[in-house]
Amino acid sequence: MKVCIIAVGSELLLGQIVNTNAQFVSQKFNEAGHHVLEHIVVGDNAQRLENVTRRALQQYDVLVFTGGLGPTKDDLTKQTVADVLNQKLVMNQEAMDYIEHYFKQHGKVMTPNNKQQALVIEGAEVLANKVGMAPGIYVQHDNRHIVMLPGPPKELQPMVVNELMPYFSQGGQTIESEVLRFSGMGESQVETELMDLIDAQSNPTIAPLAGTHEVTIRLTASGENTEMTKQRIAPIKEEILKRIGLYYYGSDDMTPERAVLALQRQTFAVYDQVTDGLLHARLKQEDTKHLLKGYMLHHPQFIDDALSIKGQLYTAAYFVQALYESEQSISLLSKNNTVYIGLLNGDTFHIKTFQMAQMRHLQRDRSQNYILITWLNWLKHLDNPSIIDKI
C-alpha cells in the first residue's frame, strides 16, 4: 500500500523539535512491505490541515497522522479529520476511564479539557496508549486507512509496534535495505562508475547519497520474505564492489575506524601532523583489543626537516614504532596540499598520498576517512605487499 505520513505541529515547522516520528513510522511500514511515498509537515491550523488531508486521501491508501491529539486548543487533528470524513467524534469510555485513573494515580486534578483526549471517530478502532493519555485511532473509510497517533515519541513508538502494525502486517511483501559505505571518492564519481546499473535498476533499487566525507549506496529490495530480498540484493552488491570496492569499508552502521580495527591484528602507534589527534580519538574509542599503543603529535624537534618528505615520513613512523614498541605504525604528514601516509610493518614501509584542501580545518577533518580507507586496504593486502603499492 501507498503510505503518506502527516506530522502535525507548528513546533516542527519552527525547528524547535526534530520529526523523529516520521522516521520511525516509515521504518515500520517499510519493514511490513508497504511503500512510504511522502512526508508532510503541517502547522496547527485547521484549514491547512484539512487541505492536506483532502489531497492525501486522493493519492494514498494509508494516511498516518502524528501529533495533535492532546487536550489544548491547538490539538486539531481528530476534529479536522472527522470533519473531512463527515464523521462524528464520540466519547470512548475505556479511554476516559484510563485518563481519570491516570490523574488520580498521580494525585493531580483533571481539568475539563482533558476529556477531549478520550474522543475518537465514531466506528474507529482505538489504539491503546499504555504510556500516556491520548489513545490512537484507526479508521477505514472508502478503501482508505486513516491512522492518528500521539506526538510524544515515547507514546507513539510502542503504540505503533504493539497496537498499529498488526493491522498492516497480514501478508504482503517484505522490504529490506542494505547501506553500502564508501570513503575516498565523491558522489559524482560513484554515479559515473555505476550509471548503467542505476539506469537499469528495478528490484533492488540503487540510491547513492553523499554524506560527511563519505558516500553511501542504499540497496532496497522487496520480496515475499527476508531471504528473498537478501538474494536479490546480493548480486547487485557484488557487482558494485567489483567496480568500486577499493573505497568500501562496510555496510549499515559500520564506521571506517571500526572496519580498520576489525582487520588489525598487530599492535600499532600513530604519528600525526594532519588530524590534530582526532584520528587517534576515533580509533581509541573502538579499540576493544587494546592494539593502539600510543600516538604522538608532530613537532619539528622529532623530525629532521632537511630530509625529503618521504624521508621524514619514514623517520616519523620508525620513531613512534620504536617509542611505543609496537609491531606497526602509521605516520601522517602534509606538505603543499598533499597528505602523506606512511605504513610501517616491521621493516616493510609503504607510502600513500592524496590531495587535500589547503584550509587547515578541512585537511584535519576530511583527511581522516581517506587515511582510514587507505589503512584498511593496506590491511587487506598485508600478505601480498606488491599489491599495496598498486592500489
Assign residue 44 the CATH number of its domain.
3.40.980.10
Please write the tens of the pLDDT for every residue from 329-368: 999 999 888 999 999 998 889 999 988 766 666 667 788 9
* CA dist list (Å): 254 to 47, 66, 351, 384: 45, 31, 26, 26
Does the pLDDT at position 371 exceed 70?
A: yes
Domain stops at, among 236, 253, 270? 253
Query: Which of 246-255, 311-320, 375-384 comes out lowest in average pLDDT?
Result: 375-384
Cα gap 110→129, rounded to integer Å: 18
Please write the tens of the pLDDT for every residue from 51-92: 999 999 999 999 999 998 888 766 799 999 999 999 999 988
Cα gap 124→115, rounded to integer Å: 18
Nearest to 374 by CA among 332, 346, 335: 332
Per-residue pLDDT at 48:
96
Domain stops at, among 228, 253, 278? 253
Number of domains in the chain: 3
Residues 285 and 367 in one domain: yes
Residue 186's pLDDT band (cuts 50, 70, 90): confident
Residues 31 and 63 in one domain: yes
Residues 14 and 61 in one domain: yes
Angle between helices 187-199 and 226-244 (to 10 degrees): 130
Cα gap 118→345, rounded to integer Å: 69
Per-residue pLDDT at 299:
87
Assign residue 290 the CATH number of its domain.
3.90.950.20
Assign residue 231 the CATH number of its domain.
3.30.70.2860
pTM above threshold 0.85: no
Please write the tens of the pLDDT for every residue from 263-316: 999 999 999 999 999 999 999 999 999 999 999 999 888 888 889 999 999 999
Per-residue pLDDT at 115:
84
Residue 321's CB: how many other CB atoms inside 10 A? Answer: 24
Domain stops at, among 253, 279, 310? 253
Domain holding 184, by residue range, is 174-253
Per-residue pLDDT at 67:
93
